[in-house]
């Protein structure tokens, strides 16, 4: 790579939070694995995916042409936005580039117990917001096991095996272990967690093709779930030939205003269903800027790319060309590029992406109708 | 009935414990329902089945020729003995006499989480000890939904609907409600209870034939489970058209030595696989007697049928003729019948029953092989 490492806006985050994850819990840095991947994804090259557990074992499996599973879940709520896109692109990379068996779970039992007690609405959001956007982004639905926790499979062997695993997982964990990870425990939380453990481990069951490595790409805050699943996997030695699930970790992508993306505030995110004009307006008005207070000050001191949301979005998702990205960094840092100009670069990329994505989504919608029959 | 009511050996139990259940928790006495049943079962006539919740609604359904479900579970452990026979006879009565849809659940997820962590062994016990004896006692396996919690159905609609119900039930109960019924809570206990709630309520789901009354015959100590299931059923009003499950309650049948039947002590019970000679020896040697210390004292004061195990077994299961039973009571009470003679009456009945049952079990074993294919 020819880029200077400081252009990575998560440099400081990595030093503090990620080092803690690494040192306390044994998450490994992702960077040393890059040279072992023929075509590492942009998110990996740019350090958005910053850490892993046992992902080297997945690369070994890929190189030996052994099958492996990529497992992920989605909690159906609100609009599909740029934060969800980060995960979707990893799913698609595993499927299209590395050849994974893809398992995508709609965590509707969890959502029902924790948030929205309307299974029909959950189903509708999962399909029309998530699945449609996954396919539009490049997921091949035919080579993908997309399922609902509340109805695992039309194959009774698979359905029964999945729920049996959830039922048995409960014996492998203590109440206090659960409390340490999840805080206050409710019956609904126990049910959600046991189902999630089954989600992560079941691709290894004979009914689902048998022993294979499983990788779960997650945000850094999800590591406690991964650790618990790994602990439980190890305790099934009498019943099942499980291997500890692997994981990768991506950084927290900021909301437009610099905080979290929140489904209750449509100005905190760009949804993939936003029309280009709306997206432009959101970026120009709300995107948290690393520019200085006055033109003079900006020209003199330069912008602060590390905190600039437009910069972060370009870096993580919308400017794949390393040379151009370096140029943007250098120009913004030097003060040659103004905050409004930086936003305009993102706006153009975003408009083109959303226009193209809208077309792809129309096509995807037809595939979904076929797929669900 | 021409019998005097005092010949019922649970008279005292009813006065104390049952009155408490009735007054504190709303269990109704069964006796007033007897005249509404064309052929009440011996266990009902004799007061072994002593109480109920909403069983009058089940009788209404039977009289209107509406379908209803009889739901029960078995925890596979140890030998099938006279205590299990009490429940089996009620199952068969519901199926053969009242025309119920019979659901029998093998609580293997519960057993796995609470007792034996060997699913294969649990399966073997459930089939070879329980199912075979049920059929030998008169159950028609073709008209019975016998299933394992760990593999609800070969029909994916049924399997998914069952586990979905368990997953959703967790939202309908608080941690403190569970604690009040089950004491210390473990993740395995939460999973067991939610599965049990699904067991009791799922016959009402559309996938299982839709709305119908469900009755669960249980021992008096099981009422807290019934109450919790009724509470949860009522909280599904948004999602499902559930009616509160009905229940009947039977008394605790004493072990041979007067205490509990314990699977770890083969001299505490008569197993239905005991050969007649073994059963005779167990009864003569171990059956707790209500006879007096000396022949003289016995002739003078008479025996105490209320505490005599042989008397209780004859009364509850082996002497269906009311006149003969009254005679036995009168003779024992007066001292004309000695304890050994009373035991001998039971031994003869027991030997005949076990001989006949062994033959029926051989036949049942062949049916099981066919049934499970």
- Nearest-angstrom CA–CA distance, B266 and B281: 12
Q: Say whether residue B152 is in contact with chain A using an 8 A CB cutoff.
A: yes
A:175-204 residues touching chain B, CB 8 A cutoff: 175, 178, 185-188, 190-195
- Cβ–Cβ of A173/B160 closer than 8 Å? no
Helix (H) or strand (E) holding B325: helix B322-334
B:236-255 residues touching chain A, CB 8 A cutoff: 238-239
- Cβ–Cβ of A152/B171 closer than 8 Å? no
**Straight-line distance from the first to the last Cα atom of chain B, in angstroms, rounded to the nearest whole number:** 46
- Cβ–Cβ of B190/A195 closer than 8 Å? no
Q: What is the pLDDT of residues B156-211, one digit of tens each?
A: 999 999 999 999 999 999 999 999 988 889 999 999 999 999 999 999 999 999 98
* Residue-level pLDDT at B346: 98
Q: Say whether residue A170 is in contact with chain B using an 8 A CB cutoff.
A: yes
Nearest-by-Cβ selection for B188 from A109, A156, A170:
A170
* Residue-level pLDDT at A204: 97
Backbone angles phi, psi at B115, to 5 degrees: -135, -80
Q: What is the pLDDT of residues B261-298, one digit of tens each?
A: 998 899 999 999 999 999 999 999 999 999 999 999 99
Q: Which residues pair with B190 in a beta bridge?
A: none
A:281-320 residues touching chain B, CB 8 A cutoff: none
Percent of chain A topping pLDDT 70: 96
The nearest alpha carbon in chain B to A118 belongs to: B239
- Nearest-angstrom CA–CA distance, B47 and B38: 16
Helix (H) or strand (E) holding B217: strand B213-219
Per the structure block, which two tokens stand in for A198? 């089954």
Indicate the pLDDT class of residue A264, thresholds 50, 70 and 90.
confident
Residues of chain A with C-beta less than 8 angstroms from the C-beta of B190: 170, 187, 190-191
Q: What single-letter DSSP state applies at residue B10?
A: T
* Residue-level pLDDT at A373: 57
* Residue (of A258, A302, A260) closest to A283 by Cα position: A258
* Residue-level pLDDT at A23: 77
Q: Which residue has the higher pLDDT, B126 or B21?
A: B126
Indicate the pLDDT class of residue A1, thresholds 50, 70 and 90.
very low
The nearest alpha carbon in chain A to B192 belongs to: A167
Residues of chain A with C-beta less than 8 angstroms from the C-beta of B147: none
Residues with Cβ within 8 Å of residue A228, at least 6 apart in sequence: A173, A177, A178, A181, A193, A197
- Cβ–Cβ of A154/B156 closer than 8 Å? yes
Q: Which residue has the higher pLDDT, B20 or B307?
A: B307
* Residue-level pLDDT at B12: 52
Percent of chain B topping pLDDT 90: 83
- Nearest-angstrom CA–CA distance, A134 and A294: 42
* Residue-level pLDDT at A252: 86
Percent of chain A topping pLDDT 90: 83
Q: What is the pLDDT of residues A203-237, one digit of tens each?
A: 999 999 998 999 999 998 899 999 999 999 999 99
- Nearest-angstrom CA–CA distance, B239 and A117: 9
- Cβ–Cβ of A191/B190 closer than 8 Å? yes
* Residue-level pLDDT at A21: 75
- Nearest-angstrom CA–CA distance, B108 and B196: 11
Nearest-by-Cβ selection for A159 from B156, B170, B192:
B156
Is B268 within 8 Å of B262 (Cβ atoms)? yes
Indicate the pLDDT class of residue A152, thresholds 50, 70 and 90.
very high
ipTM: 0.91
Is B343 within 8 Å of B285 (Cβ atoms)? no
* Residue-level pLDDT at B13: 56
Indicate the pLDDT class of residue B371, thresholds 50, 70 and 90.
low
Nearest-by-Cβ selection for B167 from A156, A175, A191:
A191
- Nearest-angstrom CA–CA distance, B9 and B329: 10
Q: Which of B171, B184, B238 to mutate to test the interface with A (most CBs of A within 10 A)?
A: B171
- Nearest-angstrom CA–CA distance, A199 and A186: 20
Q: Say whether residue A222 is in contact with chain B using an 8 A CB cutoff.
A: no
For residue B2, pLDDT over 60 is answered with no
Mean pLDDT of chain B: 93
Q: What is the pLDDT of residues B226-235, one digit of tens each?
A: 999 999 999 9
**Straight-line distance from the first to the last Cα atom of chain A, in angstroms, rounded to the nearest whole number:** 46
Whats the size of chain A, residue-wise?
373
- Nearest-angstrom CA–CA distance, B258 and B271: 16
Indicate the pLDDT class of residue B50, thresholds 50, 70 and 90.
very high
The nearest alpha carbon in chain B to A189 belongs to: B170
Mean pLDDT across A45-54: 95
The nearest alpha carbon in chain A to B161 belongs to: A151
Q: What single-letter DSSP state applies at residue B127?
A: I
* Residue-level pLDDT at B267: 95
* Residue (of B307, B309, B304, B306) closest to B332 by Cα position: B304
Is B109 within 8 Å of B192 (Cβ atoms)? yes
For residue B1, pLDDT over 60 is answered with no
Residues of chain B with C-beta less than 8 angstroms from the C-beta of A187: 170-171, 173-175, 178, 190, 193-194
Q: What is the pLDDT of residues A94-140, one digit of tens each?
A: 999 999 999 999 999 999 998 888 999 999 999 999 999 999 999 99
Nearest-by-Cβ selection for A194 from B173, B178, B191:
B191
For residue B323, pLDDT over 50 is answered with yes
Nearest-by-Cβ selection for A175 from B151, B187, B239:
B187
Q: What is the pLDDT of residues A293-322, one digit of tens each?
A: 999 999 999 999 999 999 999 999 999 999
Mean pLDDT of chain A: 93
């Amino acid at each position: 790579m020819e880029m200077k490492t400081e252009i990575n806006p998560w440099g400081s985050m990595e030093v503090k939070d990620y080092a803690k994850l690494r040192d306390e819990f044994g998450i490994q840095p992702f960077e040393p694995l890059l040279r072992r991947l023929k075509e590492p994804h942009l998110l990996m090259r740019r350090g958005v995916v910053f850490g892993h557990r046992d992902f080297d074992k997945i690369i070994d499996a890929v190189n030996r042409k052994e099958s492996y599973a990529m497992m992920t879940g989605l909690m159906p709520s609100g609009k599909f936005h740029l934060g969800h896109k980060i995960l979707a692109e990893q799913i698609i990379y595993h499927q299209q580039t590395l050849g994974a068996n893809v398992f995508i779970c709609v965590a509707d039992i969890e959502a029902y117990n924790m948030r929205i007690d309307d299974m029909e609405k959950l189903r509708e959001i999962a399909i029309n917001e998530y699945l449609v956007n996954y396919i539009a982004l490049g997921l091949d639905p035919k080579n993908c096991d997309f399922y609902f926790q509340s109805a695992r499979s039309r194959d009774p062997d698979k359905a029964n095996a999945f729920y049996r695993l959830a039922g048995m997982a409960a014996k492998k964990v203590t109440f206090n272990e659960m409390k340490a990870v999840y805080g206050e425990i409710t019956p609904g939380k126990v049910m959600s967690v046991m189902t999630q453990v089954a989600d992560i481990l079941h691709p290894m069951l004979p009914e689902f093709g048998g022993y294979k490595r499983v990788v779960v790409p997650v945000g850094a805050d999800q590591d406690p779930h991964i650790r618990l699943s790994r602990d439980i996997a190890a305790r099934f030695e009498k019943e099942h030939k499980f291997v500890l699930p692997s994981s990768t970790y991506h950084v927290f992508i900021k909301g437009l205003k610099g905080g979290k993306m929140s489904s209750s505030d449509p100005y905190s995110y760009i949804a993939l269903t936003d029309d280009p004009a709306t997206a432009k307006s959101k970026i120009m008005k709300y995107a948290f800027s690393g520019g200085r207070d006055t033109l003079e000050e900006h020209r003199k001191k330069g912008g602060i790319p590390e905190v600039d949301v437009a910069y972060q979005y370009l870096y993580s998702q919308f400017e794949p060309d390393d040379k151009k990205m370096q140029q943007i960094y250098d120009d913004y840092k030097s003060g040659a590029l103004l905050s409004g100009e930086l936003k305009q670069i993102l706006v153009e990329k975003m408009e083109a992406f959303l226009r193209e994505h809208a077309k792809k989504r129309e096509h995807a919608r037809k595939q979904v109708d076929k797929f669900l029959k």
